[in-house]
Every structure is written in structure tokens, then in C-alpha cells.
Chain A
Amino acid sequence: MLQSGNRGATHKLLCRSVRSMSPITLLGAIVPGLVTFLSPELASRMQFGWTISVHIIFASLSIGLAPFIIYFTWKDVRTNERRYARLRSFWVKVFAAGFVMGTVTGIPMSFQFGTNFPQFAEVAGELIGGPLAFEAKMAFFLEAVFLGVLLYGRDRVKDRTYIISSVLVGFGAWLSGFWILIVNAWMQTPRGYEMVTRNGMEIAKLTDPFAAFFTPRMPWMYVHMMNASVISVALLVAGVSAYIVWKKPDAEAWNTALKLAVVLLIASAPFQAIHGDAYGRHVEDTQPQKFAAMEAHYETGQADLHLLAFPKSPEALTDPRAENLVTVSLPAVGSFLASGGDFDAEVIGLNEYEENPPVALVFWSFRFMVGLGFLFIGLALWGGFLMYRGRLADSTRYLKAMIAASPFGYAALLTGWYVTEIGRQPWVIQGELKTSEAVSSTLTGAEATLTLVAFVVLYVGLMLTALYILKWLVREELRSLGVRESSGGRWHGPIPWVSSDD
């Protein structure tokens, strides 16, 4: 990029010919037709999307488990009750395993801005580099160091230091989310910079750190994501507890854990819906194109609110439009909500834009997330009612429902992020830099496809292993509670399978 004129061209040519010697390209040349590679852009996007999807599961596990860990540790040290020791020990093990997976999947994230999207890293370096570095130094270190103490140091440090370690680990997880979301919020609603030319390239120069860090999106995103993590983990804790209580109804510790998780769900699930509604209006204000994609709203004008949408034909799945959907809609309420009170307000439609995000993915992801959100509210209220009646652990139906629902918090969290990230396309920095311009120009389709395949294989293995670890931990816990194996309910694979025999 520094060279100019002929020298640059020769240099490039030289690089090409050297590059074409690489074994993978050679393979592609020898067996044309057998090996087809994805374009570097598509492969890079899929790879980033896939690796961040896996990473975020573990990152939000840390965030959501933090309050549980702190509570159990504090109760254990202060009251010396066996049930809290049991719960602390179990969930710290889960936290630790999750943290290791979060670390090993997080390091590729911090490198992929450079390996796959170097133009983005260079354009946005002044804006995103600082927060990412603060995340590593302030949060990641804090978590890693004090988790070592929490795991291995029970007999080596004082009670108070031990409790403080658990608080610092939890604080680290929440602080980590804070800095990472500053980066992502900036990509949605960039502020506090001006475009200047440096080394022959247009880059964003930081002009106002406060505006760049606390962008309009930041508070919305932070609250929504932290709460989503709490909901996801509350459902996970509730599911595991329900499974153990189902197998061993008098397991005192696990009745406590179940109750705690349901209480947390009662507080967090309805809040997420109320907050999400206001968040949607904010998105309409700041990213109208994304909002239109969420609603598959093509024509500028009055917008209806689609409460429920069902595909009329298979086409609706890939190309949702008013014509091919059966919707339960409130006429003009889309306009009303988006504008905050005006039924006739104009909502800009997708037809106004030259290039749109993949509408179907955004539209259906959004509906999937919202639908699950309402399911969680239902489960929370049902649990609250049972708790009020004092028979939370007696309702086998509820226990089974909670076991079945345990992975869905994560499903909602991921689809919510698909709305946010896919809905921002074609931009990587809204209105400033397109994703297609951000991809590495030296990357070949062969290299990108190779690493994509490697990450898919590796991370599928990693996810399966994570599920097996959870399964083994639960089985060990059941064994220590004196439950005989293979007594109803089957769990052969990594996911518990609720049988209908009782």
C-alpha cells in the first residue's frame, strides 16, 4: 500500500506468484471442479459469525453466572451451610470450564479483525483499539487471575479474600462486556470521530472520546445484553436444577437453586420485553434500514405492527413480504410505536435503499427472539404461581418444561445478535464503511475456506465437549446425592432427553 506506480504493481505480481505456490492453491489447481472455494468475503463473514456465536455463549455464561457464583460463595463462607458449599462447588466448576472455553475462543476473536478484516481494523483502529485493549487489561486479566484463586485458593487465602475474589471475577465479566459493547455500539451508531487521510488511506480519527465511547446505542445494548445473559443463565441453572430435583426431589441444595433461578427469571424476563420494545424504537430512529428489515417493510409510508407472522408459502421463509405472510397485525401501530405516538408517521421502507441486508434472516431471527422472550415470561409467571402455592418442585410438568427450555435463552440471545449484526449490513461501520470493503485484499478464497472449515470442525467438537462436561458434572452430582443410574429419564447424548414415562 506504500508503494506506488510500477513498483507496486510488480510487487503485487510477485506476491501473487509466490502465493500461488501455496499447497492449498496448488490443490485447487490440480483438482479443479472438485474443490470449490468460497469467496474471501463470504468465508470471512461466515467465519467471524460462527466463531463469535460460539464465543458469546461462553462470554454470556460468565456474565450470567457471576451473580450466582457471588451469592453462593458469600452464603457458603458466611453460613457454612452444606447446600451452599455444594452449589458453589458445582457452579464454580461450570464457570471455570466455561471460562476456559471463553478464553480459547476469545483469542481468535481478538486476532480476526486483523487476519480477515484488516481494512476495518485500520479504519477504526483509533476508535476500537482503545476499548479492546482496556477489555484485555482491565477485565480479562481480572477474571483470569482471580478465577485461579477461586478455583485453587480456598485453603490458601482468607475467607474475606476468597469472597472478594468471587466478586472480582464477576465484576470482570461484566466489565468485559462493557468494553466490548462500546466497540459494537460504535459500529452501529458511530460518533466522536472525523475521517482523515493517513498513509494514503481514509481512516477514522478520534476527536471526542466521550462521544465515541458513550454512543447513543451503548446504554441500550449494554442493558439488553447483560439482561439477556442473566435470562439465559437463569434458564440454564433452572434447567439443571429441575433435572436434579426431578431425579431427587428432596435434594435441598437444588430446590434452593431452582427457586433462586425462577426468582431471577421473574425479574429479568418481563423487563427484557419492556426494555426491548423501547430499544426497537431507538433502532428505528438511528438505523431505519435495520428496523425496516426487522419488519420486512418495503414501501415507505404507514407501517403496521406485525404481532405474529406465518409464512403462506415456502418463499416467505427466504423472502418475507406482506403478500406472502399471514399476519396478526395492528394497523398503523408500527408507525405509532416507531414515532412515539403518531399513527400516520412515515416509516422508511427498504425500497429506498440501494443495497439491503438479507431481509429474511433479520425478519425471522427477530420474530424467533421475540417469540422466545414471551415464552420465558410465561415460564417465569408459571413458576411464580407455583412458588406462591409452595409446590414448585412438585409439578413434574413444570420441571420438564424447565429442562426443555434450558438451551432456549441462548437461542434467543444468538438470534438477537443476528438481528443486530446482519441487520447492519451492508455496513460494518454504519454509513461509513461497507463490509465488502473491510475484507483483506491479500486473502485467498482457499485460505479463508480452509480456516472456516477448521473452525467449524473444531468448535463443533468444542461445543459437544462443553455439553458433555455439563452432563458429567450433573451425573457426578446425582451420584453423590445417591441417585441410582438409569432410573427413568434418559441422557445418552450430550443433551438431556426428557422421557414421557412418568
Chain B
Amino acid sequence: MTDTLLPVDAYLVESLPEIWFGAVLFALGMYVVLDGFDFGIGMLYATRTDERERETFLAAFGPVWDANEVWVVAFGTMLLAAFPRVYSRLLADNYLLALGFVVALVFRGLGPELREQRDDERWKRYTDYAFIGGSVFAPLLLGMLAGRWLFGEATLPVALTGVGLVAVSIVTGAAFLAAKTEPGLASELRAYGIGATVAYLGGVVVLLGTVVLTDVGGAADAVLSLPVAAVVALSVAVGLSGSVLARRGRYRAWLASALSLPTLLTILVAILLYPTIYPPTGLLIREAVVSPLALNLVTVLGFPVLLLVLWYFKFLYGVFSGPIEGEGYEG
């Protein structure tokens, strides 16, 4: 019956495997952008001691983090659906990193949830540790996982990718909070944001420099290509202009530029991977992709839903746009 509806032996469009490569990285990018600022909120939370400020942070985090977090499930399952071998190798070859990341997410998610259950100083301190610790380790380990995906077992580049993701999360977290809070707090946050921007840009340059010098996994040529140079240059421009906007107190514009940093980072990952999809074994996109029927099916059933998901994310952020209201976290 389905033969007549879906082509069995040919992809709906010739470049469908490449489109799915893009779609999988799009889901990863959405995750890194959206949950990234959640991680940033969690890390900046550590710098606050005032209870009211902490509750403001949690109120900004409350309504959206859970939905943001689902993007990592979307990423994982889309990778499984389109490139099962990559899903298997990436997770099995990096067992402790992958499970360490999900455990960090458990702590990050439960911390605020538990915090509001009791009005007790010690209880709040422990749940805050969970929230802050999870918010630091989740991007660190996810970044290292991405580093292993790109560069295999080379220690320094992998560590730098982890630290880079932590830094960029602080940038987006600071910008997100600055755009949604009162000016006094915002100007304190901006200092962290600008510092993290400089650290991030420096980290990217050192990382790529290391890759060129040591030629890990033969990635030096890819790094020296024009697209990579363009993305790096653009990141520097966006980062610096964002910092200028932040200094001038134009926080919404800063947020827009801050959110494009992790977006550019994901594009960088895509460029470095292509046309392979698992550099450690040299596996190509075309070798790893599922058969035409399976890919056509997930395209026809999945893509319209993806558009719908984007629409209701717009709805969610619309409902909770504007300055943070209410006190604290209720979820």
C-alpha cells in the first residue's frame, strides 16, 4: 500500500541524506542555543547570593527549560532514525561522557524543582548545588562529547570544546537574563557576559590553532578552508559587536547577537564534519544513512511536525515574553 505513496528505492529528493544531516545538526543547534541559555542561567545563579535575585533567575528558567531540553531527545532520536550507526558509535564509544551528560541533566532539572518544595535553608543550599553543578557539567560534557565526535581521542581539543560550550552558554544566559530583568541586575550580568564572550572567542581560536598544528584526525585542511575562516570571522564580529551593544544597554539586540554565537558554533561543527558524519572511523553521510523508504517516511511524517513544533515554541515564548513576573519557580 505504501509503495504507491512513498518511493521505496529512491530518496524523495536526491539530496535527502544531506538534508537530514542538516536537520540532525539543526536539532542539535536548537538544543545548544535554547538549553544553552538555561545552563547559563544556572551558572550565573552561582554568582547571586540574594534570595530575590535567585528567585528571579528561577522564574526566567521555569516555564521554558523543560521544553528546551526536549531538543536533545529530538537530536538523539533523529540521529538514530537517519544515521543509526553514528548514533550507536558516538554513544557507545563515549560511554561515560554520554551518561555523565544525562546524569548532569538529572541534577540540573531536579534542583529547582525540589528547591521550591521546602522553606529550609539547608535544603535550599543542597538543591542549589544540584542546579549549579548540573548546569556546569551538562554543557562541559556535551561539549566534550561533540569534541570526541569531531576530533576522536585528542585530549586538548576535546577539553577545549567542552570549555567553549560552557563559555558560550554563559554568554547566552547573561544576555537572556539581561533582556528580561531590571537595569541594575542587568549591568552586573553584562560584565560576566562580556568576559565569557572574550573567553569563548579566544577558546575557539586556540582550539582551531591546536587542530591545525597537531592535525588531529586529519582535520587541519578542513579548518584552513574558507567556510571555516568565514564562520570564525563572523563569530568574532558578532561577539565583539554584541559586547558593544551590551555596554550600551541595548540588551535585546545583545540577546540576538549572543544567540547567534552557538548557532555559528553548530554551523562550524557541520562544516568540520561534512562530508563524513563520523570522522573517527571516516564514515561518510551516504554510507551511514538508512534506506530510501525509511528516510522518506521520517521525512514525510516528521518534517511537518518539526514546523509545528517551531510554531508552538514561538507561542510558548510569546506567552512568556517580556520582563520576568511573579516570584520564583512553581514547576
Q: Which residues of B contact A119 (CB under 8 A)?
A: 88
How far is the CB of A212 from the nearest CB of chain B, in Å?
9
In chain A, residues 417-459, which have Cβ atoms closer than 8 Å to a Cβ of chain B?
440, 442-443, 447, 450-451, 454-455, 458
C-alpha spacing A152/B330, complex, angstroms: 8
In chain B, residues 272-329, which have Cβ atoms closer than 8 Å to a Cβ of chain A?
281-283, 287-288, 290-291, 293-294, 297-298, 301-302, 305-306, 309, 312-313, 315-316, 319-320, 326
Q: Is B84 part of the contact surface with A, judged by Cβ < 8 Å?
A: yes
C-alpha spacing A145/B320, complex, angstroms: 11
Q: Is the CB of A140 within 8 A of B117?
A: no
C-alpha spacing A144/B313, complex, angstroms: 10
In chain A, residues 198-218, which have Cβ atoms closer than 8 Å to a Cβ of chain B?
199, 203, 205-210
Q: Is the CB of A440 within 8 A of B293?
A: no
Q: Which residues of A contact B229 (CB under 8 A)?
A: none
Q: Which residues of B contact A27 (CB under 8 A)?
A: none
What 1/0 flags go to A111-140 for Cβ under 8 Å of B?
A: 111111011011011111110111111101
Which of A68-76, A98-106, A339-347 forms part of the interface with chain B? A98-106
Q: Is the CB of B313 within 8 A of A145?
A: yes
What 1/0 flags go to B99-127 for Cβ under 8 Å of A?
A: 10011011001100110011000000000
Q: Is A236 part of the contact surface with B, judged by Cβ < 8 Å?
A: no
Q: Which residues of B contact A113 (CB under 8 A)?
A: 80, 87, 91
Q: Which residues of A contact B91 (CB under 8 A)?
A: 111, 113-115, 118
Q: Is A20 part of the contact surface with B, judged by Cβ < 8 Å?
A: no
Most chain B CB neighbours (cut-off 10 Å) among A121, A133, A145, A472:
A133
How far is the CB of B321 from the nearest CB of chain A, in Å?
10
Contact of B76 among A97, A111, A146, A465 (CB under 8 A): A111
- Using A100-B66, A118-B91, A451-B99 as known contacts, say yes or no to A140 and B73 having CB atoms under 8 A apart: yes
C-alpha spacing A480/B73, complex, angstroms: 39
How far is the CB of B318 from the nearest CB of chain A, in Å?
10
How far is the CB of A366 from the nearest CB of chain B, in Å?
32
Q: Is the CB of B297 within 8 A of A144?
A: no
Q: Is the CB of A136 within 8 A of B84?
A: no
Q: Is the CB of A145 within 8 A of B312?
A: yes
Q: Is A378 part of the contact surface with B, judged by Cβ < 8 Å?
A: no
Interface size of B by CB at 8 A reads 69
Q: Which residues of B contact A136 (CB under 8 A)?
A: 70, 73-74, 76-78
Q: Is B92 part of the contact surface with A, judged by Cβ < 8 Å?
A: yes
Q: Is A271 part of the contact surface with B, judged by Cβ < 8 Å?
A: no
Contact of A125 among B84, B109, B283, B301 (CB under 8 A): B84
Q: Is the CB of A451 within 8 A of B95?
A: yes
How far is the CB of B117 from the nearest CB of chain A, in Å?
6
Q: Is the CB of A440 within 8 A of B92?
A: yes
Q: Is the CB of B67 within 8 A of A141?
A: yes
Q: Is the CB of B92 within 8 A of A114?
A: yes
In chain A, residues 219-242, which have Cβ atoms closer than 8 Å to a Cβ of chain B?
none
How far is the CB of A496 from the nearest CB of chain B, in Å?
17
- Using A130-B294, A472-B117 as known contacts, say yes or no to A447 and B309 having CB atoms under 8 A apart: no
Q: Is A395 part of the contact surface with B, judged by Cβ < 8 Å?
A: no
CB-nearest residue of chain A to B110: A104
Q: Which residues of A contact B287 (CB under 8 A)?
A: 199
How far is the CB of A433 from the nearest CB of chain B, in Å?
13
How far is the CB of B100 from the nearest CB of chain A, in Å?
9
Q: Is the CB of A132 within 8 A of B290?
A: no
Contact of A104 among B63, B109, B331 (CB under 8 A): B109
CB-nearest residue of chain A to B288: A199
Q: Is the CB of B113 within 8 A of A111?
A: no
Q: Is A301 part of the contact surface with B, judged by Cβ < 8 Å?
A: no
- Using A133-B77, A152-B320 as known contacts, say yes or no to A144 and B67 having CB atoms under 8 A apart: yes
Chain A interface size, as a band, is: 35 or more
Q: Is the CB of B67 within 8 A of A121?
A: no
C-alpha spacing A203/B289, complex, angstroms: 13
Q: Is the CB of A148 within 8 A of B95?
A: no
Task: Tally inter-chain residue pairs, CB-CB below 8 A.
Answer: 225
Q: Is the CB of A121 within 8 A of B331?
A: no
Contact of A207 among B67, B293, B306 (CB under 8 A): B293
C-alpha spacing A305/B109, complex, angstroms: 48
What 1/0 flags go to B196-221 for Cβ under 8 Å of A?
A: 00000000000000000000000000
- Using A104-B110, A107-B72 as known contacts, say yes or no to A115 and B77 having CB atoms under 8 A apart: no
Q: Is the CB of B66 within 8 A of A99?
A: yes
Q: Which residues of A contact B74 (CB under 8 A)?
A: 133, 136-137, 140-141
Q: Is the CB of A114 within 8 A of B63?
A: no
Contact of A137 among B6, B93, B117, B309 (CB under 8 A): B309
Q: Which residues of B contact A455 (CB under 8 A)?
A: 103
Q: Is the CB of B88 within 8 A of A122?
A: yes
Q: Is the CB of B70 within 8 A of A140?
A: yes
Q: Which residues of A contact B106 (CB under 8 A)?
A: 104-105, 107-108, 458, 462
C-alpha spacing A100/B331, complex, angstroms: 8
Q: Is B180 part of the contact surface with A, judged by Cβ < 8 Å?
A: no
Q: Is the CB of A148 within 8 A of B293?
A: no
Q: Is the CB of B66 within 8 A of A129?
A: no
Contact of B297 among A96, A151, A206 (CB under 8 A): A206
How far is the CB of A242 from the nearest CB of chain B, in Å?
23
Q: Is B153 part of the contact surface with A, judged by Cβ < 8 Å?
A: yes
Q: Is the CB of B92 within 8 A of A442?
A: yes
Q: Is B53 part of the contact surface with A, judged by Cβ < 8 Å?
A: no
- Using A126-B291, A148-B320 as known contacts, say yes or no to A447 and B117 having CB atoms under 8 A apart: no
Q: Which residues of A contact B249 (CB under 8 A)?
A: none
Contact of A458 among B1, B78, B103, B316 (CB under 8 A): B103
Q: Is B41 part of the contact surface with A, judged by Cβ < 8 Å?
A: no
How far is the CB of B242 from the nearest CB of chain A, in Å?
27
Contact of A129 among B8, B73, B84 (CB under 8 A): B84
Contact of A206 among B64, B110, B288, B294 (CB under 8 A): B294
How far is the CB of A478 from the nearest CB of chain B, in Å?
16
C-alpha spacing A100/B62, complex, angstroms: 11
Q: Is A1 part of the contact surface with B, judged by Cβ < 8 Å?
A: yes
Q: A121-B87, A129-B84 are in contact. List 17 more A-B contacts (CB 8 A).
A: A100-B110, A103-B66, A104-B109, A104-B110, A114-B76, A114-B98, A116-B95, A129-B80, A130-B294, A137-B309, A141-B313, A153-B319, A199-B283, A205-B291, A207-B293, A208-B2, A451-B95
Q: List 29 A-B contacts (CB under 8 A).
A: A2-B281, A111-B99, A113-B80, A114-B80, A114-B90, A122-B88, A125-B85, A126-B290, A126-B294, A127-B294, A129-B84, A130-B297, A134-B301, A134-B305, A141-B312, A144-B67, A145-B316, A148-B63, A149-B63, A151-B63, A152-B326, A206-B293, A207-B8, A208-B2, A209-B2, A450-B96, A454-B103, A458-B106, A472-B118
Closest 9 CB pairs of A and B: A125-B84, A114-B91, A129-B81, A118-B88, A118-B92, A133-B77, A126-B294, A144-B67, A129-B80
